[in-house]
Structure 1
Amino acid sequence: MGKFRIGLIGLGGMAGAHVRWMAELGDRFEIVAVSDVSAEALARAGEQLGIIEDKRYADFEKLVADPDVDAVVSVTPNHVHAAIIRACLAARKPFMAEKPFTRVFEEAGPLLDQYEQQPVPAMIGFTYRYTPAFRYARELVLQGKIGTVRSFSVQYLQGWGAAQYMVPFVWRFDKNITGTGTLGDLGSHMIDLARFLFGEFEELSAQLKTIIPERPDAATGRMVPIEVDDFASFQSRMTGDVMGIFQTSRNAIGSGNQHEVSIYGDFGTLHASTENPDKLIWIREEEPGQLSRSTLDVPSSCKTTQYADFLAMLEGKEPDGLPGFMDGYRNQQVLDAIIRASETKTVVQL
């Protein structure tokens, strides 16, 4: 079995998680080059990872073009997602890129044109497809265990942005960098989970809200207006007339990383959550009028990792459920439709 030489772009907090995830697969990945706009981050990561000076790039395009790099892993803020994907496609380098696919949908169209002309193996970082409970829920739905699915609800709640914590203005609140707020950050995961479980969005309506209208600049203390949402709710009609309700917020005190789905079918209900990722709740009638509520252990067959699929992709395989290029593009389409639905206060068709 060969080893894949990885170029890592973006050396912030999440990069450390990706380094750990790669290491979990033994020696199948070797990080041979790094890139970041911060000279300090480059020096620190270069020392920690044993990367020689010549492979520490301030310009990510030089990393992508490096012939010693077999594949690229990009862990950056939203405003450079499109440029990195464009560079990888041009260089015909396989890649894993962070979500959301692009900062705004207008950046996605040219990437699709480029991809159709010169496709390369691509993975978008929708990590929650690899939550075991979500994968088991998908398996049970496909097996018809709860009959025809009629509706579902998804929420993704965090509490770190709540007013009492007085979080200062950081890049996640900067529209020029993020495009949207909690919608693109957390809502993109909800959209991907719904597509993973139920198929495509056909129509939706939405409301976006900025709960905290300004935050202090960490350096100056000056109050900075917030132009992105920190609460989003929307409802959809999916393939097969499955109805969905979604909410996400970074102002939910008591929620650390609460991403969950409830699925309602003719013969029962399934509930899965990141808060108990190896368990699934199944509610059904075993006898008329007698409800049974079971907590199921997720079988090992539903347990795999994002990097196991990335490795399989690099080896030329096609793992079931791998979030690929078109999943990123379709996700961005839905994000754009949510914004338009909220702004126009209308139902938007997809």
Structure 2
Amino acid sequence: MKKVLKILLSAVLVLSFVFGATACVNPNNGGTTKSGLSYKKVDGGIYEIFKYNDDGKEEIEIKIDNVTEGIRIKKDAFAGNTNLKRIIVTSAVTEIQAGAFANMNSLEALALPFVGRYANADVKFKETGSATASQKKAIDAERTIAHLFGNEDYANGVEQTINYGAGTAVCYMPKTLKRVVVNAESTYSIPWGAFNGANHLEVIALLGDIDAIGENAFANTTISELEIPASVKTIHKEAFKSSLIKNVKFADGAKVDLLDSAFFGCSLLSFVGKGDAVENTIDLSLFNTIGENAFDSQNAVAESRVKTYSVQNAGDFNLELIFGDTKVN
């Protein structure tokens, strides 16, 4: 995992240097960057990237020189691209419309400052309040990574169904996409359902100032390992429900409120702690509070895989409440 992150971060640094040196000097009201991004200034004073002019390159950093915020990536801006393998969306981007990356055929790695349409999104399934006119908010399926790829079926797409209460959305993510990095430069919460059901992804990395992981954010995923930054203070209910996660590693200094059923049904979960993984071990000193059935690994689909956990630093926690029918010693 650390090796993968180093590779991804190296790519970020290289791209920042290359594209930072070649982008347009002054955005004015529109134009095309030397990296091939056609853009225009639209109502509200934001810059909209409406087309990527493919020149065969495999990597791109999405930015406009001298524009530090207020960039929107329009629907279909990268639609049908067959060459790009790695994309870095910089923090200057504040909106990604549905289907901005539709029908991509070679995309392998994607770095994002947030997941979904906007950075502003609720962490709970039941949305609360509304955004102000100056702070737009992602709602329903807009809170998920699948939103970025749109609802058009294609040969290289993997179908993903999102049930969000008011309805259902069906999106198609590129089957080539295996690695996603969320790099938050300002305080950010991973929203409800962010990666729910994106079970073709192999690596997800959380970097930067991420303070919470929303409900069902990683539910039904197949990533085997995840590192939790020290900035994370809350992991919401059912965040990893029925995922195939094996190792969850926390950064030094991490202290988290773990809500109900956070890892419910994670029948392959083997290690929760710091440092090197120790099989079937969970360190409870990482948590301020732990909700009911947070580590109940019972899974109707995989009952034979339920294990016995060795619990470290149990303190005053009620293990029966936390682990449910799962055995501990």
TM-score, normalised via structure 2 length: 0.30
Q: Comparing both structures, which one devotes a greater share of its residues to helix?
A: 1
Report which structure shows greater RCO (CA 8 Å, sep ≥6).
Answer: 1
